[in-house]
Amino acid sequence: MLTLGLTGRIWICVEPQDGRKSFDGLAGVVTSHLSRDPLNGDLYVFRNKRGDRLKILAWQGDGFALYLRRLEKGTFAFPTAATAEVSITATELAMILGGIDLGSANHRPRY
């Protein structure tokens, strides 16, 4: 089983990015557009304009890892926000990858 090795937070870039961008291009988006350091151990999630492809950029300590998920049908439901990025949990990322819309998910309070 593939694990992402989460050591920090998960950030979603709300605005769609060019699907042709790779390691350096996405790291540049993290630096310039999100004003964050791509080497800090956080995961950065991007989607393309059509919404059928999702990329996750992760710093692994000695280099970047880039994960790509492509859907044959449908699109990924990204949260909407007034800011350029949104912080989510690992559970919410799993829900997005599983096709669940976070806006319609019912979150029960936990004590």
Q: What is the pLDDT of residues 21-66, one digit of tens each?
A: 999 999 999 999 888 999 998 999 999 999 999 999 999 889 999 9
Question: Which residues, at least 6 apart from 56, have a Cβ–Cβ distance to it below 8 Å?
Answer: 4, 43, 44, 45, 46, 66, 67, 69
Q: Is residue 4 part of a domain?
A: no
**Counted domains in the chain:** 1
Question: Which residues, at least 6 apart from 31, have a Cβ–Cβ distance to it below 8 Å?
Answer: 37, 38
Q: Is residue 1 part of a domain?
A: no
Q: Is residue 15 part of a domain?
A: yes
Whole-model pTM: value is 0.85
Domain assignment of residue 42, given as a range: 10-97
Q: Is residue 64 part of a domain?
A: yes
Q: Is residue 104 part of a domain?
A: no
From 46, 57, 58, select the one nearest 19 (Cα to Cα).
46
